[in-house]
Amino acid sequence: MSDRIEGVKKLFTSKSARVETNKGDAYYDKLFQTCQARIEELKTQQPINNRLDIGDVLETQGIERRDFLKWASAVTGMLMLPASFTPLVADAALMMNRAPVIWLELQDCAGNSEALLRSDGPKIDEIVLDIISLEFHETLQAASGHQAEKQLEEAIEHFKDKYLLFVEGSVPLGMNGQFGTIGASGETMHDHLVRVAKHSAAVVAVGSCATFGGVPAAAPNPTGAVGVMDVIKGKPLINIPACPANPANMVGVIIHYILTGQVPELDSLLRPKFAFGYRIHDNCERRAHFDAGEYVEEWGDEGAKNNFCLYKMGCKGPMTFNNCSIVRYNEGVNWPIGVGRGCIGCSEPDFWDKYAYERPMADAKIKAPTGGVEKTVDEFGLGLLTAAGIGIGIHAAASAFAGKKEDGGEA
Ligand code: SF4
Ligand code: SF4
């Protein structure tokens, strides 16, 4: 038993260095200068299509500059930049109306568009929908039919090689793509995506369907659904998975792009490390209970009432890389584990088939996600499978021990 306890201790006290948050003064000095130069250049450009000025919007909304800077400071922290970058991040937000965005919806439920609309911040929904130049979004815009198609063509032509292409939904490839067609011409979603991606500056796949196929790609996957990265090659591509993707991460990616002109540092699954560099389990509010071997054993039991760890109820937080345990959802009010439901691993590939049902991880025979973030998903994650089993073992032994005492056995 003592070996096992040592094993668990070692695992959970080992340095969790998946994301390099301090790259040294020289790195940040250089980056600061690059960002400064980029912001200055953007300032010389006119806002696209006379988009609103965020300064005016903040004033109209009665939002004080101090609150705006507080928000900029939070975003700076989220992007894992030093606090000295806060004024630059605020400036980047002011340049939102210089960033042309085209948003495509493919095989999906529109949950990510919905999440975006409910995003917070200094009225981030205004920022995103009114301030950034959202040139095309068929669900949110007034235009439809031929008018919408014309709008898309004009946006592609006008902002050739400059627009960010956000894609929501998976790409159905079955029956030559006939499971999903768009517009009067019946263009397949596949062709639609390839055509619009061709002249984008970068492609951002938003939500689990666009990134890894999501629910449409779950077995038996009748439509042959795949993620955007299986179709689009040769373009900078950023994956923002989760179901839905957290709007904070979408805004973070746009701000990062405006600030640096580059895609953020990505993991092997093309997810920004600032958002997907840590596991749910690393920052979970129930983590102390996991370490103490205190688990919910049945829905509604005493453990549930005391907010014990949900691992035995199938929580996949130990396998899942995402920042929802930190940024939460619905304006930071709460998140799934906070309301008593285990993580179903929605930001990992094949989550619906691999993670989304109730079973403890130790019995699941789950392979760690491909590649992993540095060596951690494979090595640390697989190690955890064993260690979690050990943790459960310790808990089981402790329960048996307690049972013995209650039965009047030897202590
Ligand atoms: S197993 Fe789930 S509920 Fe338990 S600490 Fe980890 S992430 Fe939190
Ligand atoms: S807790 Fe897990 S399932 Fe829930 S949103 Fe976060 S990553 Fe997805």
Q: What is the pLDDT of residue 229?
A: 97
Pick the ligand that lies closest to the CA of residue 245.
2
**Inside any domain, residue 110:** yes
Q: Are residues 210 and 340 in the same domain?
A: no
79 in the same domain as 220: yes
CB of 319 shorter than 6 A to ligand 2: no
pLDDT in tens, 399-408: 444 434 434 4
What is the domain extent for residue 395? 370-400
- Calculate the alpha carbon distances from 164 to 71, 242, 406 in Å: 23, 20, 64
* 362 and 376 inside one domain: no
Q: Which residue has the higher pLDDT, 313 or 141?
A: 313
CB within 8 A of 375, min separation 6: which ones?
Answer: none
Same domain, yes or no: 122 and 183: yes
If asked whether residues 246 and 358 sit together in one domain, one would say: no
Ligand that lies nearest to the alpha carbon of residue 324, given by its number in the listed order: 2
Q: Is 121 left (phi over 0), alpha (psi -120 to 50) or beta?
A: left
Count how many domains the chain has: 3
Lowest model confidence (mean pLDDT) among 44-58, 99-113, 152-166, 352-366: 352-366
Given 234, 260, 286, the domain boundary residue is 260
208-257 pLDDT, tens digit per residue, is 999 999 999 999 999 999 999 999 999 999 999 999 999 889 888 988 99
Of 194, 227, 260, which residue sits at a domain end? 260
Domain of 247, CATH number, reads 3.40.50.700
Average the pLDDT over 42-66 and give the result: 76
Q: Convert 371-394 to b/e letters by CB count within 10 Å (16 or more is b).
A: ebbbebbbebbebbbebbebbbbb
Residue 203, classed as helix, strand or coil, is strand
Specify if 239 maps to a domain.
Answer: yes
Same domain, 74 and 221: yes
Residue 178 lies in a domain: yes
Q: What is the mean pLDDT of the chain?
A: 80
**Nearest atom of ligand 2 to the alpha carbon of 316:** 2
Whichever domain contains 308, its CATH number is: 4.10.480.10
- In a shared domain, residues 115 and 201: yes
Choose among 58, 217, 44: nearest CA to 126. Answer: 58
- Asked whether residue 326 is assigned to any structural domain, the reply reads yes
Query: Is 167's pLDDT higher than 50?
Result: yes
Same domain? 28 vs 127: yes
Nearest residue to 211 (alpha-carbon basis) of 192, 185, 239: 239
Distance between CA atoms of residues 20 and 182, nearest Å: 43
Q: Annotated binding site, which residues?
A: 109, 209, 243, 281, 284, 309, 315, 324, 343, 346
Q: Does residue 6 fall inside a structural domain?
A: no
Position 11 in a domain: no
Q: Which of 260, 286, 319 is the last residue of a domain?
A: 260
184 Cα: distance to centroid of ligand 2 (angstroms):
37
Name the least confident of 137-141, 300-304, 371-375: 371-375
Neighbours of 113 (CB within 10 A): 22
Atom of ligand 1 nearest to the CA of 325: 7
Which residue is closest in CA terms to ligand 1's atom 5?
A: 287
Asked if 285 and 381 sit in the same domain, the reply is: no
In this predicted structure, what is the pLDDT of residue 389? 47
pLDDT in tens, 82-136: 999 999 999 998 887 788 889 999 999 988 888 777 665 545 555 555 666 677 7
Report the interhelical angle of 86-94 vs 247-260 (nearest 10°).
Answer: 100
Same structural domain for residues 230 and 360? no
The CA-to-CA distance between both ends of the chain, in Å, stands at 16
Write down the pLDDT at residue 402.
Answer: 41
Q: Looking at the structure, tell me whether residues 360 and 240 fall in a common domain.
A: no
Q: Is the CB of 323 under 6 A from ligand 2?
A: no
Cα 286 to averaged position of ligand 1 atoms, centre (Å): 6
**Ligand positioned closest to the Cα atom of 340:** 1
Determine, yes or no, domain membership for 267. Answer: no
Residue 319 has pLDDT above 90, yes or no: no
What does the alpha-carbon distance between residue 293 and residue 298 come to, in Å, rounded to a whole number?
15
Q: Would you say residue 329 lies in a domain?
A: yes
- Per the CB < 8 A criterion, the answer to whether 110 and 139 are in contact is yes
Q: Are 341 and 375 part of one and the same domain?
A: no
